[in-house]
């Protein structure tokens, strides 16, 4: 799908949309790959819409009470990390019904072949595809709906979501082509910084994930200082000291990961980390990394606990965000239905 006019996006105002699943504790991967950058985009003054995608979370089983708590916790994490509900729209997906409606419309645009090629589906379903929910298979079209419902032009995500944003572009292009309109923009994935793919602390070939059965594989945003220090101390690495140059990290996935995490936390480049720690062993580097992580995460988790003491206030903030989101989404959904030939007479 490349037949989009080159100047298509010029028609649309700059707008950022991104989402995180409230399916468990947010991890250091979520923080560095997503949340920290969401705050930066907000502070750059771009219009930002951030969504706790509870409809995505239920593509795999969620205990209802746990889902509600995790959604509030994720909202608290966003606010504690610097998302200002007065400057960004922050809401949970299911409060804006247009997401589900747009999701259906786009299910009728996306092709089975495109969905079958999604690597996250293949990874998650594995050999058990027959037992997965239909929602898990269709989830990338719901993600496309999330983005296109706001005519978002930029989508900050970690590396693992790039293919889904590309699918969103294909869906937008097919819609525009089939209905002979230039209604949807072609949203760009924003994948920036040293930590777009934070790896598991137990296995340098797997991404750090909130759904990993091993808690030792990840740093949770709510872990206390001792737990963070212990998890980094026990992180799997090779026995060599850190190299004197970045090239020396080739083939050393675990060491590379810890260097990237340090760089992203300190807002410096991996080269600068190597300049400081090259030649030093993990006995020196890991405690320095743990101290840095604690200094960045502890104030956030303290603020999260404070916010969590007043769940009604969190719900109120999400409600206000949902109203603002709905006001943008409804006219775009209505126009989409109109373009597709639905009668709108009430
Ligand atoms: P999820 O937890 O799957 O809802 O992901 C929410 C956001 O965090 C997405 O933008 C992901 O790409 C990002 N993310 C999740 N895990 C990682 C990771 N290990 N490294 C970098 N980004 C991540
Ligand atoms: N699928 C994303 C993930 O699991 C979350 C998500 C849902 C999202 N809708 C989105 C991300 C829209 C960016 C834009 O990480």
Reported as a single tens digit per residue, the pLDDT across 314-335 is 999 999 999 999 999 999 999 9
Do residues 228 and 106 both lie within one domain?
Answer: no
Do residues 301 and 179 both lie within one domain?
Answer: no
Do residues 247 and 109 both lie within one domain?
Answer: no
> What pLDDT score was predicted for residue 1?
55
- The answer to whether residue 294 is domain-embedded is yes
Res. 305: pLDDT tops 80? yes
Res. 178: pLDDT tops 60? yes
Residue 49: CB within 6 Å of ligand 1? no
CATH at 185 = 3.40.50.620
Do residues 181 and 319 both lie within one domain?
Answer: yes
Do residues 62 and 98 both lie within one domain?
Answer: yes
Do residues 46 and 178 both lie within one domain?
Answer: yes
3-class DSSP state for residue 91? strand
| pLDDT band per the 50, 70, 90 thresholds, residue 222 | very high
> What pLDDT score was predicted for residue 6?
75
From 124, 162, 230, 324, active-site residue: 124
Average pLDDT over residues 25-34: 95
Do residues 234 and 284 both lie within one domain?
Answer: yes
CA dihedral sign of residues 186, 111, 17, 336 = positive
Q: Which of 18, 8, 34 is nearest to 154 (CA)?
A: 18
Do residues 166 and 270 both lie within one domain?
Answer: no
Residue 22: CB within 6 Å of ligand 1? no
- In this structure, the residue with its CA closest to atom 13 of ligand 2 is 18
> What pLDDT score was predicted for residue 7?
81
- The answer to whether residue 345 is domain-embedded is no
- The answer to whether residue 273 is domain-embedded is yes
* Dist. CA 234–CA 211, nearest whole Å: 20
The DSSP call for residue 31 is I
- The answer to whether residue 47 is domain-embedded is yes
Domain count within the chain? 2
Res. 214: pLDDT tops 90? yes
Average pLDDT over residues 230-238: 96
CATH at 269 = 1.10.240.10
- H-type alpha helices, the chain: 28-30, 36-43, 54-57, 64-81, 98-107, 112-116, 119-125, 134-148, 162-178, 225-234, 253-266, 270-277, 282-308, 311-340
- Residue 230 to residues 19, 28, 78, 124, Cα–Cα distance (Å): 30, 15, 25, 29
Residue percentage of the chain with pLDDT more than 70 = 99
- In this structure, the residue with its CA closest to atom 11 of ligand 2 is 19
What range defines the domain where residue 253 resides?
215-306
pLDDT per residue over 123-159, tens digit each?
988 888 999 999 999 999 999 999 999 999 999 999 9
Do residues 286 and 317 both lie within one domain?
Answer: no
Residues making up the annotated binding site for L-tryptophan are: 146
Res. 294: pLDDT tops 80? yes
- The answer to whether residue 332 is domain-embedded is yes
| pLDDT band per the 50, 70, 90 thresholds, residue 5 | confident
Residues making up the annotated binding site are: 21-23, 29-30, 146, 158-160, 198, 207-211
Average pLDDT over residues 31-49: 97
3-class DSSP state for residue 94? helix
> What pLDDT score was predicted for residue 3?
63
Residue 29: CB within 6 Å of ligand 1? yes
Q: Please state whether the predicted TM-score (pTM) of the whole model is above 0.75.
A: yes
Do residues 16 and 80 both lie within one domain?
Answer: yes
Judge whether 210 counts as a catalytic residue: yes
Judge whether 207 counts as a catalytic residue: yes
Do residues 168 and 221 both lie within one domain?
Answer: no
Res. 190: pLDDT tops 70? yes
- In this structure, the residue with its CA closest to atom 3 of ligand 2 is 20
pLDDT per residue over 70-107, tens digit each?
999 999 999 999 999 999 999 999 999 999 999 999 99
| Whole-number average pLDDT of the chain | 96
Do residues 299 and 242 both lie within one domain?
Answer: yes
* Dist. CA 92–CA 74, nearest whole Å: 10
| pLDDT band per the 50, 70, 90 thresholds, residue 307 | very high
Res. 2: pLDDT tops 60? no
CA dihedral sign of residues 160, 161, 162, 163 = positive
- The answer to whether residue 346 is domain-embedded is no
Atom of ligand 2 nearest to the CA of 53: 7
From 36, 210, 286, 296, active-site residue: 210
Q: Write phi, then psi, for 184 (nearest 5 degrees).
A: -100, 135
From 174, 207, 231, 296, active-site residue: 207
Res. 194: pLDDT tops 60? yes
């Amino acid at each position: 799908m490349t037949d989009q006019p080159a100047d298509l996006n010029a028609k649309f105002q700059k707008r950022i949309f991104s989402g995180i699943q409230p399916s468990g504790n947010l991890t250091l991967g979520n923080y560095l790959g997503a949340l920290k950058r969401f705050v930066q985009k907000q502070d750059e003054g771009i219009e930002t819409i951030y969504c706790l995608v509870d409809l995505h979370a239920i593509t795999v089983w969620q205990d209802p009470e746990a889902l509600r708590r995790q959604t509030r916790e994720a909202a608290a994490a966003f606010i504690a990390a610097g998302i200002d509900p007065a400057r960004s729209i922050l809401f949970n997906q299911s409060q804006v019904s247009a997401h589900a409606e747009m999701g259906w419309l786009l299910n009728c645009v996306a092709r089975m072949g495109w969905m079958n090629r999604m690597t996250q589906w293949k990874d998650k379903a594995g050999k058990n595809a027959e037992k997965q929910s239909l929602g898990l298979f269709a989830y990338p079209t719901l993600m496309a709906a999330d983005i296109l419902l706001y005519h978002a032009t930029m989508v900050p995500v970690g590396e693992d979501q790039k293919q889904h944003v590309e699918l969103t572009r294909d869906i937008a292009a097919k819609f525009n082509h089939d209905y002979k309109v230039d209604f949807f923009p072609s949203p760009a994935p924003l994948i920036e910084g040293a930590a777009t793919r934070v790896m598991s602390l137990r296995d340098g070939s797997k991404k750090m994930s909130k759904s990993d059965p091993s808690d030792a594989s990840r740093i949770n945003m709510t872990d206390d200082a001792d737990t963070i220090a212990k998890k980094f101390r026990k992180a799997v690495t090779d026995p060599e000291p850190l190299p004197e140059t970045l090239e020396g990290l080739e083939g050393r996935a675990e060491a590379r990961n810890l260097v990237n995490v340090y760089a992203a936390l300190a807002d410096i480049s991996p080269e600068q980390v190597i300049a400081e720690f090259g030649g030093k062993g993990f006995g020196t580097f890991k405690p320095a990394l743990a101290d840095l992580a604690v200094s960045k995460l502890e104030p956030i988790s303290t603020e999260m606990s404070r916010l969590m003491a007043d769940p009604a206030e969190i719900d109120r903030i999400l409600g206000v965000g949902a109203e603002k989101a709905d006001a943008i989404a409804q006219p775009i959904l209505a126009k989409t239905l109109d373009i597709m030939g639905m009668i709108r007479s009430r």
